[in-house]
A and B are shown apart, each in its own frame.
Chain A
Amino acid sequence: MSSHAQVHVAMGGRLMTRPFIVLLAIAGVGAVMAAVRFFYGIGAVSNLSNGYPWGVWIAIDVVVGTAIGCGGYAVGILVYILNRGQYHPLVRPAVLTSLLGYGLAVIAVIIDLGRFWSLWKVPVYVWRWSHSPQLEVALCVAAYTLVLMIELSPALFEKLRTGTSTRLRRLAQTGLTLVEKNFVWILALGLLLPTMHQSSLGTMMLLPGPRMHPLWLTPWLPLLFVVNCILIGYAVVVLEATFSAAAFGRPRETTMLASLSRIAGWVAVGWAVFRIGEAALAGKLGYLNSGYGIAFMAEVLLPLAAAAILLSERRHQTVWQVRGAILLFLGAALHRVDAYLVAFRPGSAFSYFPAVPELLITFGIIAAEVAIYIAVVKTFPILEGPAPAKKTL
């Protein structure tokens, strides 16, 4: 471990580059819209209604957002459970992406919650806890965000260790030792919690069962959501590693990503087979001949197309790795949006398409995520290897 940790370096370089300023601007617009929402209510900025109480904030920002945050989980399983140490350089940047994914999902939840000021009561009023799957999601996501912070804290401590203040240096060393000593159970928590709340995210959509389209209503939904978050996790790790290599002029991790792609490809095949098999065994294939059927088939065929690329020899080329990862991401993310939005049918009296300010908040959150990632890898030792430090994004 420690031998790896030493080669984590900050990328350095100018922070206020043009793309970065654009990202900040998009995030700023989102923040203004969020301010309007807090003063004038959710209805003032969104098309959410009594028929569609949940929209893109939940389906995309929270449900897909936490899945984007599963890169750390997916790679963590590989490195620490299946003992594939060769993927270790991917861990820290993946954990950073995870923390951003979850942190911003929490912010999206606060924007979406009508009575967000009561949120603190959820972890505190233990005696009022119900058996709602959403309670499990809420507690687990909060706990996991804390665990991710601890998992990432060595990056902060390593930075502080090189500082000028003796006291800070000593504090940083104590912190590092503490994390190192408790490494096993922190990491075990870091793998347990996503398994729990990602499956519960699936369980959650069993409750609106009578109003769900049968293609998305299966008691296997919890398992589907866990496998799905692993698919998205792999896709995000590949995209993020390639992006970092291009943006910071670092050596590409093509060989490592090629073998990772192979694993992702097989998981995608498993996903597609299970999804089709479940629908066939439950006698739901008749529903395929409809608009919902197209959405369902896209969830199956996009990951299959990704698998076709990622399991072929093309996976050794960066461009095909990226194409495969994008297809994989789209297919798996579509399942989440389908399950939380498309498959929910409140009746013909209601329709939903996100309002412009509502979308601006979602875009703002995504932009903030990318901007913070760039700022952090430039400032803190996240990525591995010698930094050229010259090239800026």
Chain B
Amino acid sequence: MAIDRRALIKSLAVGGTAVAAGVAPAMAAERKAAPPGAMGMLYDATLCIGCKTCVVACKQANDMPVESAANGGLWDAPTDLDSKTKNIIKLYRDGEQESFVKQQCMHCVDPGCAAACMLHSLHKDEVTGVVMYDPTYCVGCRYCMMACPFNVPKFEFEKAAPKIVKCELCRQRIKDAAVTGAGGFTRYPMGQGPACCEVCPREAVIYGRRDELLAEAKRRIAAWPGKYYKDRVYGEVDGGGTQVLYLAHVPFDKIGFPDLGTQPVPETAYAVQEGIYYKVPFLAPVGLFAVLGAVIYRNRRADSVGAAEKEDKR
């Protein structure tokens, strides 16, 4: 028995080292970059007048039901993202300081929701980087809702056959047609981009390639020094980067954007999971299985030998 325990501890130590050796490099794994054809939006809070035309256009383009709970069923007036609302305008006010903010899916470069999803029901398009939803493989576990740091995926709690609801960058409207306009900035024909961007009267939110939008955001920061909060584009690197980018004159955490650092949301969980199971495919579980089997077999044989000896003595 003493030998067994020593052998067990030794093999467990070896196994533990192997797992640690797997987890450590997975931690340092290269971070994902946005796909070359990544599409996105740029929202500039200093331009938004809070007219909510984008909210209406989103509902029409996505065939969404009205949310009239707040006014006794009279007109569509959503107050937050929910199962009937994929896009919302909110107002932040603190004394003199105020700002509108538009909320919808951020289309993360390395999305937490897709990392949570078991069968890639939520997944990131390889070309456009749009985070898409396919209910065929969705079991309705809502882990995506837990995993999203922006609290974006919503669930039809009111339905017996519910789905996840979130902005998919109007992917049903987007065609590959693109017109290169002035200054190398790509423009898209009407009806072939996200509805919210097409109707904005102030161009507070615009649609385009992520790299071009990022360049435009930096151009604005350079053109008006001191106008934007910390001269920073939210989403450039935050949470591993997002394809929807934000400019604002107020602190980002005040308008609902958490300070995520540059670490992608799934990084730690995936480093642990991949370190244990996938770095050397299934080494840890298969190894542990072998050790457990061997120890049980030895103990059992020792047991039956012991029992036989006892019988003999009788």
Contact = CB atoms under 8 A, between A and B. Distances in A.
Contacts of A206: 268-269, 272
B118 A50 contact: no
A251 interface: no
A130 B119 contact: yes
Contacts of B116: 132, 134, 207
B265 A209 contact: yes
On chain A, which size bracket covers the interface?
35 or more
A131 B158 contact: no
B47 interface: no
Interface stretch (B30-38, B54-62, B139-147): B139-147
Contact of A207 (B146, B288, B299, B307): B146
B128 interface: no
Interface in B150-171: 151, 154-163
A184 B299 CA distance: 10
B258 to A, nearest CB: 6
Interface in A7-60: 38-44, 46, 48-51, 53-54
Interface residues of B, number: 68
B260 interface: yes
A125 B138 CA distance: 12
B159 A41 contact: yes
B260 A125 contact: no
A132 B115 contact: yes
B28 interface: no
B66 interface: no
B4 interface: yes
Contact of A50 (B81, B258, B297): B81
Contacts of A292: none
Interface string B111-149: 010111111100000000000000111111111011101
A207 B147 contact: yes
B296 A125 contact: no
A211 B288 contact: no
Given A43-B157, A53-B142, A188-B289, A347 B117 contact: no
Contacts of A119: 139
B148 to A, nearest CB: 8
B65 interface: no
Given A41-B160, A54-B142, A189-B289, A130 B273 contact: no
A129 B276 CA distance: 16
Contacts of A118: 136-140
Contact of A203 (B4, B82, B269): B269
Contacts of B162: 41-42, 114-115
B274 interface: yes
B144 to A, nearest CB: 9
Interface SS of chain B: helix
B297 A184 contact: yes
B16 to A, nearest CB: 10
Contacts of A344: 146
B228 to A, nearest CB: 23
Contacts, number: 187
Interface SS of chain A: helix
A196 B118 contact: no
Contacts of B138: 114-115, 118
A347 B151 contact: yes
A81 B115 contact: no
A125 B137 contact: yes
Contact of A200 (B156, B273, B288): B273
A85 B303 contact: yes
Interface in A97-134: 112-116, 118-119, 121-122, 125, 128-134
Indicate the member of B114, B115, B140 with the most A CB atoms within 10 Å: B140
B143 A132 contact: yes
B229 interface: no
Contacts of A43: 157-158
A54 B273 contact: no
Contacts of A54: 142, 146
B142 A207 contact: no
B143 A114 contact: no
A185 B2 CA distance: 23
A115 B139 contact: yes
B8 to A, nearest CB: 6
B30 to A, nearest CB: 16
B289 A192 contact: yes
B109 to A, nearest CB: 15
A281 interface: no
B219 interface: no
Contacts of B143: 132, 134, 204, 207
Nearest to A126: B119
Interface in A259-305: none
A209 B268 contact: yes
Given A41-B162, A206-B268, A130 B117 contact: yes
B115 A207 contact: yes
A1 B258 CA distance: 58
B145 A184 contact: no
Contact of A187 (B239, B272, B277, B296): B296
A199 B145 CA distance: 21
Given A81-B8, A133-B269, A209-B269, A113 B118 contact: no
Contact of B295 (A81, A121, A135, A349): A81
A113 B141 contact: yes
Contact of A81 (B145, B156, B161, B299): B299
A38 B160 contact: yes
Given A83-B302, A128-B120, A219-B272, A207 B277 contact: no
Interface in B265-283: 265-266, 268-274, 276-278
6 contacts: A38-B160, A43-B158, A115-B139, A131-B270, A207-B146, A210-B258
Which 7 residue pairs are nearest across A and B when measured between Cβ atoms? A114-B140, A43-B157, A115-B140, A53-B142, A206-B269, A188-B293, A53-B145
Given A46-B157, A115-B163, 8 more contacts: A113-B141, A114-B156, A118-B140, A119-B139, A130-B119, A191-B292, A207-B116, A211-B258
